[in-house]
Amino acid sequence: MAYLFICPNCGQRSTASERTAGFRREAKGCRHCGFGFLFELLDDYYPAPNAAFFVCDREGRLIGMGRGSRELTGLSEEKVIGRSVNEVLGLQFDDGDDQVATALEWGVRVQRKPVAVNAEGDLPARAVADLFPAYDDDGGLLVVLTPTA
């Protein structure tokens, strides 16, 4: 069986027959950029070239910013690590729900949700959000925001 993965740092997609790095229980790392762990996808997912990647822990706090995140928000990783993704990005989903909380609580993917992004010190922007929970014991969430015109 082949498992599909995506790197939150560079957006590189890959497949592998194992979910871990060899016989160890360590997460797989990215062969393309060397990032420490990958997110598993249940089906194939192709991020847009201008998509921004944000990695959260099981509490919704940012633990990493990947490709496109600085371009979308104007924020550096040093300013946001350890803070709530909703607080930092000012996410307001069009349906009024907290989709980040839903994905974390239920461990489900949330895809193609229109959202307003109002990152600190930046102009408001429109985007489409795709949220992927981590399927491991550590939990966490991959937030992919694709800017819209």
pLDDT tens track for 63-122 = 999 888 888 888 888 989 999 999 999 999 999 999 999 999 999 999 999 999 998 767
Domain residue limits at 57:
3-147
Q: Report DSSP letters for the chain, one per residue.
A: --EEEE-TTT--EEEES-SBSTTSSPBPPPTTT--S--EEESS-----TT-EEEEE-TTSBEEEE-TTHHHHH---HHHHTTSBHHHHHT-EETTSS-HHHHHHHHT--EEEEEEEE--TTS--EEEEEEEEE--STT--EEEEEEE--
Q: Specify the higher pLDDT residue, 99 or 134.
A: 99
How many structural domains are present in the chain?
A: 1
* pTM more than 0.85: no
Task: Label residue 2 by pLDDT band (50, 70, 90).
Answer: confident
Does the pLDDT value for residue 21 go beyond 60? no
What CATH number is given to the structural domain containing 63? 3.30.450.20
